[in-house]
Amino acid sequence: MSRYKHVESRKKEGAHYTPEVVSDFISNKIISNFKLKDNIKIVDPAIGDGELLISLIKQLYDNSIVNIEVYGFDINKKSIEISKLRLLEHYPNLKLTLLNEDFLNICLEKRNNCNTLDLLDNKNIPSFDLLIANPPYIRTQNLKEEQSRVLRENFGLKGRLDIYQAFLIAMSSILKPDGVAGVIVSNRFLTTKGASHFREMLYDKYTIKGIWDFGDTKIFEAAILPAVMVLTPSKSKKSYTVPFSSVYMTEKNNELDVIHEVDNQIEALQYNGIVSSKNGLFIVKNGELRFDKHSSDLWRLQDDETKVWLNKVIDNTWCTFKDIGKIRVGVKTTADNVFIRSNWDLEVGYEPELLKPLITHHNAGRFHCNGTNKKYILYTHTHENEKRKVIDLDQFPLSKKYLESHKEQLSGRKYIIKANRKWNEIWVPQNPKLWNENKIIFRDISKQPMFWFDDSSSVVNGDCYWMLNENDKMPKDILWLVLAIANSKFIEKFYDCKFQNKLYSNRRRFISQYVEQFPVPNPKLQKSKDLISLSKQCFNEKDKKVQEDLEHKINELVLDIFQVN
């Protein structure tokens, strides 16, 4: 029977098969953090094809532990059948109980002391010594509303949750006090604002024995960014150090030598620095878990070098981007095909009166907009008496004619009507008053920062973020200093040290929760004034080679002003 025969149904359930090398790594970490004994009970709450249990049992056998009771749960009946065949093929005499049940429901019933649970010969599910799991990943927007409500109410979750988070909270109810769990999770929870409550719950509920972030190294066939965690419900009575390692893809760096060749990401963990593999170059870091003040803050890996570097930056920081102005996302129409076009006269036959220039990520550049693929948005909002209001279409006949020709689609946006908004509104219009202000715009996802200055009174689309100087106490040229810092090589290293959130192909996410923490030096310093001048020159420069030379000077000056390298 093929191991991947029912892969499509597993994908719908958010499941991903675990490679053998990863299974063995997790099993080893679980056992090394557990005091071995006879009569061990182990469980996998989302068994998949059984690979994790096969690996854990093998390592227990290798340690002369053979009296093992094995349990597995899965909502997919085919997974149960495959796992049973594989487990009994490897271990014919295994004490095996596999249930086509929802693990989360089992935990809820056990937690609520349900005595009517008739699953194991009229006995309740036992507590377990060891748990190994690769729980499903299904984010909130893909869960039904009722499912999300149940998860929030019963597992205390908040924010933008994923079903794997419920698994991690739930499994504490079936682990013995000295039990150990090894799990594969999405690394998103480490660095996203929406997972702050989940981080706090994890830190309060467990003692974390280790975190290993495998990032964009494609350890799975699916496009997920995984991390491994080993946990125990036994709470430490004093502060403790959490080992934290990461392995990410990197590009050739002439300043750093490749220190070793490895077969896989697991083998890479024994080194620090750049290693080579058949899949490319990995950069490996080994350190410990750190967060700023509270366990709900972003979790990051910190080694000695990173600690010293960040402390120097802090010592030379005058303010942060959020002290200058709010980081906003662009407008969201929820009907782009109606509101946004490249050439209205050609595509529609006329130009409605309410058109405004629109900046999208296609216009992204460094210091200045690239000017290509310019679009225009039919913007239906204005500012009056310090309030945003919808424009009276009767005063703009061409705009009214056009929008009414699309009224059926626009009125079909039920959430607009439910929010007591007019059918012809843009869903997220932001503040119409601010579009005429000079602003900095930047794209969300890119390998290198792409921040540029806008003085064209353009509207910003929802695939970009933007900010302006909203602090009266700031110098009038402060945005030019912000622009120089934001586009520097320094900010790439700051991002990697502070946030450590990379997608595939070394792409970073420049979103509000990160950018608002970017540091700014004292604008009164001569070096800051020099940066402002260089930033303005880059904005006005049309020659690419000259701009590159200017950016090189900016990079050197920013490192100098923060006294780092």
Which pTM was predicted? Answer: 0.83
Amino acid at 392: D
Domains of the chain: 7-235 (3.40.50.150), 305-323+474-508+520-565 (no CATH), 326-468 (no CATH)
Residues 432-453 as b/e (b if ≥16 CB within 10 A, e otherwise) read: bebbebebbbbbbebeebbbbb
For residue 248, give the DSSP letter: E
Distance, in Å, from the CA atom of 233 to the CA atom of 181, rounded to the nearest integer, reads: 9
Give the pair of three-digit tokens for residue 323: 């002290």
**How many alpha carbons fall within 13 Å on the CB side of residue 545?**
0
Dist. CA 380–CA 366, nearest whole Å: 30
The residues facing 335 across adjacent strands are: none
Do residues 19 and 48 lie in contact, with contact meaning Cβ atoms separated by under 8 Å?
no
Yes or no: say if 60 and 30 are a contact pair by the CB < 8 Å rule. Answer: no
CA trace torsion 440, 558, 516, 273 (10° rounding): 120
Among 458, 442, 457, which residue's Cα sits nearest to residue 359? 458
Say what the pLDDT of residue 224 is: 77
User: Inter-axis angle of helices 478-486 and 526-540, to 10 degrees?
Assistant: 80
pLDDT at 11: 40
Report the C-alpha gap between 292 and 196 in whole angstroms. 12
Q: What local confidence, expressed as pLDDT, does residue 502 receive? A: 84
pLDDT tens sequence across 58-101? 999 999 998 999 999 999 999 999 999 999 999 998 999 999 98
What does the longest C-alpha to C-alpha distance in the chain come to?
84
Q: What is the DSSP letter of 424?
A: T
94: closest CA among 85, 102, 103?
A: 85
Which regions in the chain score pLDDT beneath 50?
A: 1-16, 114-123
Cα separations in angstroms, 33 against 29, 178, 266, 535 = 6, 10, 18, 53
Q: How far apart are CA 12 and CA 30, in angstroms?
A: 29
User: What's the confidence (pLDDT) of residue 111?
Assistant: 60
Q: Which residues contact 194 (CB under 8 A, 6 or more apart)?
A: 159, 160
Distance between CA atoms of residues 111 and 241, nearest Å: 30
Measuring CA to CA, how many Å separate 414 from each of 331, 402, 408?
19, 20, 11
Closest-CA residue to 226 (of 236, 237, 212, 210):
212
Supply the pLDDT for residue 6.
38
